[in-house]
Chain A
Amino acid sequence: MRAIDAGLLICHECHQLNPQQPDSRKQFCTRCGGRLHARRPNSLVRTWALLLTAAVLYIPANLLPIMTVNSLGKGQSDTIMSGVIELVNYGMLPIAAVVFIASILVPTFKLVGIALLLYSVQRHQPMSARQRILMYRFIEWIGRWSMLDIFVIAILVAVVNFGSLASIEPGYGATAFASVVVLTMLAALTFDPRLIWDNTDSDDDHE
């Protein structure tokens, strides 16, 4: 049985149960004062909006240089992918794998994964609720790790600062990439996981 069927609302903030008052438009939690909703309002539409914005920015994030290395008058621009290839060429495979996963696989997987979740909720896809909730949790957990490349740029720009001898400048790809990461994190937060269970009508899905 779902709490919503029993006329109970869970507070998003403190997880307290509150009885639903049918006549009042706005309701607040009796314990912490947070605004109560049965489901996050317009969850699907808002998540789609954030996701599509992220998908558009994903293109410049991968094509524009994220940093330029200046060394003795020569400048060399790096995109996300060329940074990974360079690490592989140096023979630093484990680190190359970490960067590849954090900056290429994870953002792509998040964009596709959230789109798949939204689509499956709207179209009653045959994916089981358990698969979908695992995917949602994975996306929510891994999202933050894509910030890795942004932090690396911040450190490199600060430390490689030897004037004309050698310096590193950040590029606009970094701005686009940071926006993609923030937007996909927001999209994961806006998505209401309870929607996954709402349309599975398999209340006895648990063992």
Chain B
Amino acid sequence: MAEPPSTDSFSELELKQLIACHECDLLLRRPPTAAGDRVECPRCGYELYTHRTQVIRRSMALVIAALLLYVPANFLPIMRLNLLGQATEDTVWSGVLGLYNNGMQGVAVVVFLCSMAVPLLKLLCQFAVLLSIRLDIGRSYGLLLYRIYHHMREWGMLEVYLMGILVAIVKLVDLAELSLGLGLLCFIALLLVQVWLEVTMSPHQIWEALSGEDEHARD
């Protein structure tokens, strides 16, 4: 837990020794950080930052794994349905197309963004940011991309989509012959890797590495 600074000593403290809670604007003295530390705001309980070891290497491995899984997860069939000899397949992409062709362009665009476009762009942003830290090139673009990434975070909804797949399966299982496809497996794997990546890549350390404040962050 961090300690709130006393008011009289404030002006002598340098900016670098201070930190403010993003959610309630409480000003704190920056606590000393060691690997594995998690700092919370004493007033509202918001997580200020977490310090992890080998952030860049681990995140890099996870980003590459997620990017490899992305194509099979979105374009391999999630399920096959068989009704009286007629068979249909469902992929994430065919769901978008189905809505679009039925005159629901608006909804199709929302589904496309939340389930395909934003997750991919998020991964690409993270990959570019990590590359720029690792190779020490284009830090200013890295900063810009990481800002864009933070705006997209909320809008990638892979876990909600997975729940949607489950509900659809339950609705269909009595109506027709249903079999699950390899796409579902890839989709679940992509989701797990992506969640793991978000936990690993602690924003506080990435910002410091991007602005060159922390020389050890590259390990």
Residues of A within 8 A of B (CB): 1-6, 8, 10, 12-17, 19, 31-34, 87, 90, 92, 95, 98-99, 102, 129-130, 133, 144-145, 147-163, 165-166, 169-170, 174-175, 178-179, 182, 185, 189, 193-194, 196-198, 205-206
CB nearest neighbor in B for A154: B95
How far is the CB of A76 from the nearest CB of chain B, in Å? 13
Complex-state Cα separation, A205 to B203, whole angstroms:
28
A-facing residues in B138-185 (Cβ within 8 Å) = 140, 143-144, 146-147, 150, 154-155, 157, 160-161, 163-168, 170-172, 174-175
Residue B83 at the A interface, CB < 8 A?
Answer: yes
* Contact indicator A175/B167 (Cβ below 8 Å): no
Residues of chain B from 56 to 99 with CB closer than 8 A to chain A in the complex: 78-79, 81, 83-84, 86, 88-91, 94-99
B20→A8 contact, CB < 8 A: yes
User: Are B167 and A10 interface neighbours, CB within 8 A?
Assistant: no
A128 to chain B, nearest CB (A): 12
Contacts of A145 in B (CB 8 A): 160, 163
State whether B20 touches A17 (Cβ < 8 A): yes
Q: Does B5 contact A (CB under 8 A)?
A: yes
Q: Which residue of B lies closest to A34 (CB)?
A: B147
B33 part of interface (Cβ distance < 8 Å): no
Interchain CB contact under 8 A, A178 and B170: no
Contact partner of A8 among B18, B91, B140, B146, CB < 8 A? B18
Contact B98 A151, beta carbon cutoff 8 Å: no
Give the docked Cα–Cα distance between A14 and B213 (Å): 14
Chain A contacts of B210 at CB under 8 A? 32
Q: In the complex where A3-B26, A157-B95, A193-B24 touch, is A98 in contact with B90 (Cβ < 8 A)? A: no
Q: Do A90 and B23 touch across chains, with their CB atoms under 8 A apart?
A: no
A-B residue pairs in contact (CB < 8 Å), sample of 22: A2-B25, A2-B26, A3-B20, A4-B25, A5-B27, A10-B20, A10-B22, A14-B207, A129-B44, A133-B45, A147-B157, A147-B164, A148-B160, A149-B164, A152-B164, A155-B95, A158-B88, A159-B90, A170-B102, A170-B103, A170-B104, A206-B42
Query: In the complex, A149→B75 CA distance in Å?
Result: 21
Enumerate chain A residues within 8 angstroms of B165, measured Cβ to Cβ. Answer: 151, 155
- Provide the residues of chain B in CB contact with A156, threshold 8 Å: 168, 171-172
Q: Determine which residue in B15, B19, B104, B168 has the highest number of CB atoms from chain A within 10 A of its CB, and name it.
A: B104
Q: Which of B7, B86, B106, B147 contacts A32 (CB 8 A)?
A: B147
Task: Judge whether B10 is part of the interface by a CB distance below 8 angstroms.
Answer: yes
Specify which chain B residues have a CB less than 8 angstroms from the CB of A155 in the assembled complex. 78, 90, 95, 164-165, 168
B115 pairs with A151, CB closer than 8 A: yes
| B143 with A33: CB separation less than 8 A | yes
Contact of A3 among B25, B144, B160, B170 (CB under 8 A): B25
Complex Cα distance, B94 from A197, in Å, reads 46
Partner of B23, one of A17, A144, A194: A194
Contact B107 A175 (CB under 8 A): yes
Q: Given the complex, which residues of A lie within 8 Å of B160, measured CB to CB? A: 144-145, 147-148, 151
CB of A148 within 8 A of CB of B18, answer no
Bound CA–CA A31/B103 (angstroms): 46
Interface residues of B in 85-140 (CB under 8 A from A): 86, 88-91, 94-99, 102-104, 106-108, 110-111, 114-115, 140
In the complex, the answer to whether B147 meets A144 with C-beta atoms within 8 Å is no
